[in-house]
Structure 1
């Protein structure tokens, strides 16, 4: 499909016609395989991804190998955090990495910023995800500060299942541990406990929520 067809099919109910035309004229349609970095830390934000299909993981990284999972981006979404960095002319402090095959439209950051003044639907779009993604950050801080690891792990599994629309989560224990910033042994121990409680079933590199 051409970009005009994709924008019409996916964003006619979100953006006005003039804005959709600008998306087509300024955006570049990209198709990316799983496990690819769309935006990395310590880089200038040259474009903003508008997700058409697939799932993108957002992580906070310090550039020294340390990071923690924040949330996912799915279809008809964008990273409000990345837009905010671009508005403030800051380098990225997050990593956007594909979890599946992803189709997205790469739009120059300067163009995206100009839309905040020109189009009310874009302002609404940005503020919606800015509020939502800020709420994710606050919730993440609360969970780390006040909730035990079993609660955090279950919440992570349920959220991933909801985003992927699949009760089976294809992840290694190591990858989950890295997302939650804990040891692999701790994740494996809790998963075995949840298995005994018949909350999950465990397979090779996969977890099924009952």
Structure 2
């Protein structure tokens, strides 16, 4: 499909002129799993609009430490990245392809101009910002008040919903890094959940019953 056909199909809720600008200025890109499409402490040049696949938004400190924030799926972009771009600041998040993804990269200057020109863009951004902020507040609440077992099960359920699949292909190390806990703690809780017949453990995969 051509970029104008993709934009018409995926972003039909946006105004005609806005969609035309997305086609005129945007670049259709593809990324393999684990490809970083926006890096921390780098200038934000393009805002990625996901067409297909799943991307992961993370906060990293540059020393190997980090935490998973939320996913991006079709018809979504990162409200956080847009906010940094509006303030002309370097990115404080990493966006990485979780699966093979297709996305449209639109220059920051173009995206910023949409706030003045298009009501549908402002509505889209505010909805996206509300949804992603609510998710982050919920995550902070879980870290502060909930057990690791609760957080882990919720993490697996979220991944299952995003991929529409009860099988989550994920290493214990990757889960531990996303939840900012030790791999040993994750393995221990996963074994407990398996014993309770809530999940089935396989090689680098977890099946939700």
Give the structure-1-normalised TM-score: 0.98
Q: For 1:42-81, list aligned pairs within 5 A.
A: 42-81=41-80
Q: Structure 1: how far apart are the matches of 2:65 and 2:206? A: 25
Mapped pair 1:7 → 2:19: no
- CA offset at residue 145 of structure 1? 0.6
5+ residue gaps, structure 2, are none
What is residue 84 of structure 1 aligned with on the other side? 83
CA deviation map 1:9-32 (0-9, x unaligned): 2111x2111111000001000011
What is residue 32 of structure 1 aligned with on the other side? 31
Q: Structure 2: how far apart are the matches of 1:100 and 1:120? A: 32
Given that residues 53 and 102 in structure 1 are in contact (C-alpha distance below 8 angstroms), is that contact kept between their aligned partners in structure 2? Answer: yes
Q: Structure 1: how far apart are the matches of 2:144 and 2:9? A: 42
- CA offset at residue 35 of structure 1? 0.8
Q: RMSD between aligned alpha carbons? A: 0.7
Given that residues 23 and 107 in structure 1 are in contact (C-alpha distance below 8 angstroms), is that contact kept between their aligned partners in structure 2? Answer: yes
Q: Structure 2: how far apart are the matches of 1:11 and 1:39? A: 22
CA deviation map 1:30-80 (0-9, x unaligned): 011111000010001111001111000000112222110010000000000
What is residue 142 of structure 1 aligned with on the other side? 141
Any runs of at least 4 consecutive aligned residues in structure 1 with deviations exceeding 4 A, and if so which?
none
Give the structure-2-normalised TM-score: 0.99
Q: Structure 2: how far apart are the matches of 1:80 and 1:96? A: 12
- CA offset at residue 2 of structure 1? 1.1
Aligned residues: 209
Q: Structure 2: how far apart are the matches of 1:4 and 1:129? A: 23
- CA offset at residue 200 of structure 1? 0.1
What is residue 128 of structure 2 aligned with on the other side? 129
5+ residue gaps, structure 1, are none
SS in 1 for 2:70: strand
- CA offset at residue 136 of structure 1? 1.4
Given that residues 42 and 63 in structure 1 are in contact (C-alpha distance below 8 angstroms), is that contact kept between their aligned partners in structure 2? Answer: no
SS in 2 for 1:8: helix
What is residue 101 of structure 2 aligned with on the other side? 102
